[in-house]
Homo-oligomer: A and B are copies of this chain.
Amino acid sequence: MARVLLPLAEGFEEIEAVSLIDIMRRGGIDVVVAYLDADFSGELVTGANGITIQAQLPISSIIADDFDMIVLPGGWGGTNHLAQDTRVQSLLRDFQAKDKFVGAICAAPFALHKAGVLSQNYTCYPSVEEQIGGSGYTDKHEVVQDGKVLTSRGPGTAICFGLAIVRLLVGQESYEMVRGGTLSEFCKPL
């Protein structure tokens, strides 16, 4: 069974985090939601729109070897925490060094950039590319894969991003089942 780590930091974008967790679990992925040790409230983490979600484990208890991928939800507040947290930044480099998948949506590709793990070709929330730089930004696709790095754009593409991860880590059959079962035919294949 594929395993994915999703770190949740105060100010995360709720549609993005929940769509990713929900779609990946429907697709048969074991998703572990981690909270940052620095978070005042511990396992209860509040998003940008005031929705509080219970995380499962502290990020300090996580090692890259136990996972196939790490994926970061967006939201500016959450992204800034993920970009500043030394544990998360170190884990991102570990995942890449061990040839595992790395993903981020919306503002969070900035946290990948900060860790030095973002690929040449990527997408993100419009205008965030100005803080990332490089010539590989595109706004033409819901999801961009470049090597083992996957990126996506915002709340409206979060289900499609989850589906792309299901297809990558589980397979086409599961992808099609979840895409149909969630009425997400608007998501174009990667």
A interface residues (Cβ-Cβ under 8 A, vs B): 13-15, 18-19, 21-23, 25-26, 44, 47, 49-54, 125-126, 153-157, 159, 182-186
What residues of B have a CB within 8 angstroms of the CB of A54 in the complex?
Answer: 44, 51-54
What residues of B have a CB within 8 angstroms of the CB of A21 in the complex?
Answer: 14, 49, 51
Min CB distance, A129 to chain B, in Å? 14
What residues of B have a CB within 8 angstroms of the CB of A14 in the complex?
Answer: 18, 21-22
A154 and B182 alpha carbons, distance in the complex (Å): 6
A51 and B18 alpha carbons, distance in the complex (Å): 8
Interface residues of A, dominant DSSP: mixed
What residues of B have a CB within 8 angstroms of the CB of A184 in the complex?
Answer: 155-156
Q: Is the CB of A183 within 8 A of B159?
A: no
Minimum CB distance partner of A24 in chain B: B49
Taking a contact as CB atoms closer than 8 A, the residue among B15, B22, B157, B183 that contacts A51 in the complex is B22
30 sampled A-B residue pairs with Cβ under 8 A: A14-B18, A14-B22, A15-B18, A15-B19, A15-B22, A15-B159, A15-B182, A18-B19, A18-B51, A21-B49, A21-B51, A22-B51, A25-B49, A25-B50, A26-B49, A44-B54, A51-B54, A52-B53, A53-B54, A126-B183, A154-B182, A155-B159, A155-B182, A155-B183, A156-B159, A156-B182, A156-B183, A156-B184, A156-B185, A156-B186
